[in-house]
Structures are given as C-alpha cells and as structure tokens.
Structure 1
Amino acid sequence: MTSTDPFDSALDLLRRLNPSTTALNVQRLCTLSPSLTDDLLESVDIPLTTRKCRVTQRDFLCCDYNRDGDSWRSPWSNEFEPPLEESEVSEGVTPSEKVRKMEVRANEAFDVYRELYFEGGVASVYFWDVEGGFAGAVLLKKAVSPGGNSTGSWDSIHVFEALDKPPRQAHYKLTSTVILSLGTGAEGLGKMDLAGNMVRQVEQDMPVDDDMSHVANVGKMVEDMEIKMRNLLQEVYFGKAKDVVGDLRSIAPLSETNRDRATQREMISSMGK
C-alpha cells in the first residue's frame, strides 16, 4: 500500500475548493500542517497583500519573493517590514548594489505603467542575484468596489530570469500569472462569484546596451504578456458565459439558430474537401 504525499494531497484539495478563497484555504492548511508552509507559499499563487513602508510611507506588495520569515522587504527603502530581529539582521536577503540600482529604476518605471494601465492600485518590483545574471518579480494589484455588493480584483505576478548572452544580448524567461476575481450580489439578481487564474510562459533573446536596458526589455515583455492575457481572460470568462446563456435562451428562434449552425458546418466540411 503506497502512502500519499501530504504536499500533493494539499495541492489536490486546493484545486477542488473555491478559487476566491485560496488565500484563506492556504492559511488553514499551513495551520494544520506547519511543515508544508514554505512549500505551499512557494507553489500556490494567492492574491497579493499590501503593507506600508515605514520609511517612505508608501504601499508595497508582499509575496514569497520578498519574504524573510514573517517580514517583507520594501522595494522603496530596501528594509524589512516589520524589522527583523537583531539576531536575524544578517539573514535578510537583499540584492547586490548593481542589481539594486536596476530594481530602483524598475520600480519607478512600473509605477508609471501602473498609473497608465490601472489608474490606481499598487505595483512592486523585486530583483535578486542569480548565477550568470539576475532574476525578479513584477507584481501588480488593483481592487475595486464600484458600489453596492459588487467587488473585483486583479493580481498579476510576473517572475522572470535574465541570463547574460555575450556579446550584447540577454536571454529572458518570463512566467506570468493573473488572478482575477469578480463578485456581485443583489436581491433581484442573486449572488455571483467568478474567480480563477491563468498562467503563461514565454522566452526571448533581446539586445542589451547597458544594465538599464534590462528594465526596458522586461517592461516590454510584461506589457505584451498582460495585454494578451487580459484579452484571453475576457474571451474565457465572458465569451464562454455568453455562449452558455445563448444555449439556455436564444434571442432568435432556435430553428433559425440551428439552421445557421448547420449551414456553417456544411461550409466548413466542403472547404475541407
């Protein structure tokens, strides 16, 4: 009789629960089995949380890439919130001076990007050193409550690795995750809860003139990926919902709809021949 891996069981359970409560479910699993905490936080994408930098008084996003124990590094001050204990100060992982300069420039650039595309929300960028280059995470979050019981949130997590490719190029590998949650409730319409995530990955070689070229290259890749994923989410969420509603109650008589579909199939079949 084979034993079941607790980590696999936890992931299997999360896949069967409501995506809108993933963060709460992960917290409960970590409480039930503390030994799985690090693995779950590294493997499960959950909506981003926000903290305030005590030095700059600016909000920043928290994720596993800027976490050290129960503290998170602020991209604005490069200090941890809450502060690490005196005995742990040397354990706080921060980027090298070269990578930190790129991180500062990237945060400035994506703060403009956030305002242009989201008109609000919070953006944070974190870089760290890896052998042969560097890696990073670009985080974006916006939550809205337009009124009544309607809510919505968008969380995007872009994790990339940039490896030097002499003489003047770099190889980028980008993994992007978007978590979308929509909810509404009214006496006349009832309650609707729509939540889920999408993951996409891309690799690309791009020219590099200096260190700051990395910021422009990553920015372009993230921008292109977000536009593609936004269009895909619109098609998956709303296009599919429209098809289902159309099958339940057609605007035109069903006889006309079925005749049009038969004509379409006939045309496709003749083109194949």
Structure 2
Amino acid sequence: MASEDPFDSALDLLRRLNPADTAKNVEAICALNPSLTEDLLESVDVPLAVKKCSRTGREFLCCDYNRDGDSWRSPWSNQFEPPVEDGEGVVPSERVRKIEVAANEAFDTYRELYYEGGISSVYLWDVDDGFAGCVLLKKTVAPSVKSGSGAWDSIHVFEALDRPRAAHYKLTSTIILNLGMKADALGKMDLAGNLVRQVEQDAAVEHDGSHVANIGRMVEDMEIKMRNQLQEVYFGKAKDVVGDLRSLQPLSETNRDRETQREMISNMTNRG
C-alpha cells in the first residue's frame, strides 16, 4: 500500500482540528516537518498577525504575500521588518507601487467606515499582463465578561489582467471568524471557522486609479454577501442549537404544557 502524501495528510489533519487553533496547529506541523512549511503557509489561511512599521509607527498585517523569510514588507514604507539579510527583498515595480499606495489609502477609509477600527493592509505584485494583490482587514474585540471575545479576518486575493480599455479581475475571498464566551455562570463556548468565495468579472479602466475603484467595489460587494451568509450559518445555527439545548420556559411550565397536550389528545381519541 502506497504511503500517503505528507502534505495531504497535514491538510486532512487541519480540517479535523478546532478552527480556532489553526495558526497554532500549522506552527506545530511545520516544527515536526519543516519541509511542509512553504506549502502550508501558501495553502492554509490563518488569522492575520500584526506588526508595527518602525519607519512610520503604523501597524500593518502580515501574510504569505508580503513575507520574505522571517521578514514582512510594510505597505506604508515599502521596507521589510526586520530588514532581509540578502538584500532589499522583492518589491513591486514603480507603477504597481503607486497603485498600492492609492489602494492602501482607499481601504484605510473603507476600514474606518465599515469596521470603525481595526487594521487594513494592501499588497500588490507584478505578474504577466497585469498585476496581482491582496487586501487584508482585521478587527478584534478584547475579551470581556459581557461580550466575550471575537476576531474577524478578511483575506481578499485578486488578479488584474490588462485588456484594451478594460481589465479582467479574479477575486478569491476568505473570511475567518472566531467568537468566544467564557463566564462562570455560562461556561465556555467557542465558535470558529472560515468561508471562501470566488468571483470573476470585467470592468472598464480609464487609468491606473480605476483599478482601485474596481477592486474596492468587488471587495465591498463580496464582504456584504459573505457577512450575510455568515450571519445565517453561524448565528442562525448557533441559535437553533442553543434553543434545542435550553428552553427559556421553566421546566415546571414545560411539563405542565406537555401534560395538557397529552390530555387533549387523549380526550380527542376517546371521543372518536
């Protein structure tokens, strides 16, 4: 019998473990088998880490798309933190960098309007016939007795292929949601998971600034749709589970209602 591929086995294992511990589990698997590190980091979405740009003092988000070894490129300074050992690291071309700067300004406004806080980062890189990039958004809620804790991570990876006076966009969006509650009276509850969706569309392009507007609309529409789906899946299902596990009525009233129901059914049967 042929042995299973270690990478497939690692992915299969991660699918069976608690989604809230994905980052910790990926780190543990990489420590056990370092040869899987690159493939796992590219394939598995984990909650976004936060670093501070030493040149601007602003926080930025870290992912595989702005990583070079153990360093991460800041979207604000275009420099790696900490500096890479073998040079300046891979940075976008001058044209793509200008689009990246404009996109970071636009999504910083989007983040403030929609999230009322949190952190955003946009990273772009050159590809044949266009460019690609990712839009990252993160919002966390500090643990408290009343509201519990929570974290929302949005990862939007896209490709923009140039066409005559237009562009073809491919967008893959992942949202990682992690909610928790811990109290002496209620105990501990964790609700974690992720949702992935894809979309493609063509849009008109008059100048490089059009790319920022087009990508912004796609990300905004996708986040609205995914948020509605998460509301149905996460909160609707959680409400159903809690409703089945615990009734709001006292047990005595529930038993009395059941007894009344049984008497009514018995009387109807006897009359028949």
TM-score, structure 2 normalization:
0.89
Q: What is aligned with 1:17?
A: 17
Match status 1:194 vs 2:201: no
- Match of 1:191, SS state, is strand
In structure 2, distance between residues paired with 1:246 and 1:187: 20
- Match of 2:239, SS state, is helix
- Match of 1:235, SS state, is helix
Which one of 100, 113, 117 corresponds to residue 116 of structure 1? Answer: 113
Q: CA deviation at 1:148?
A: 2.5
Residues 206-263 of structure 1: CA deviation (Å, up to 9, x unaligned):
11000010000000000010011111101001111223344456679899xxxxxxxx
Match status 1:161 vs 2:159: yes
2:167 partner amino acid: A
Residues 7-64 of structure 1: CA deviation (Å, up to 9, x unaligned):
0111111111110000000001110000000000000000000001111010000000
Q: What is aligned with 2:130?
A: 133
In structure 1, distance between residues paired with 2:247 and 2:182: 25
Closer, same or farther: CA 187–250 of 1 in aligned 2, 3 Å: closer
In structure 1, distance between residues paired with 2:144 and 2:246: 29
1:211 partner amino acid: D
Larger Rg: 2
Q: What is aligned with 1:232?
A: 229
Q: What is aligned with 2:264?
A: none
Q: What is aligned with 1:31?
A: 31
- Match of 1:125, SS state, is strand
- RMSD of equivalent CA atoms: 1.6
In structure 2, distance between residues paired with 1:174 and 1:224: 11
Closer, same or farther: CA 184–248 of 1 in aligned 2, 3 Å: closer
Q: What is aligned with 1:263?
A: none
Q: CA deviation at 1:147?
A: 1.9
Identity %: 74
Which one of 220, 239, 242 corresponds to residue 242 of structure 1? Answer: 239
In structure 2, distance between residues paired with 1:65 and 1:148: 36
Q: What is aligned with 1:95?
A: 92
Q: What is aligned with 1:184?
A: 181
Which one of 210, 220, 223 corresponds to residue 223 of structure 1? Answer: 220
Is there any run of 5+ residues in structure 2 with no aligned partner, and where?
259-272
In structure 2, distance between residues paired with 1:231 and 1:146: 24
Match status 1:151 vs 2:145: no
Is there any run of 5+ residues in structure 1 with no aligned partner, and where?
256-273
Match status 1:82 vs 2:82: yes
In structure 2, distance between residues paired with 1:122 and 1:38: 25
In structure 2, distance between residues paired with 1:69 and 1:249: 50
In structure 1, distance between residues paired with 2:118 and 2:184: 30
Q: What is aligned with 1:47?
A: 47
Equivalences, count: 251
In structure 2, distance between residues paired with 1:247 and 1:183: 20
- Match of 1:83, SS state, is coil
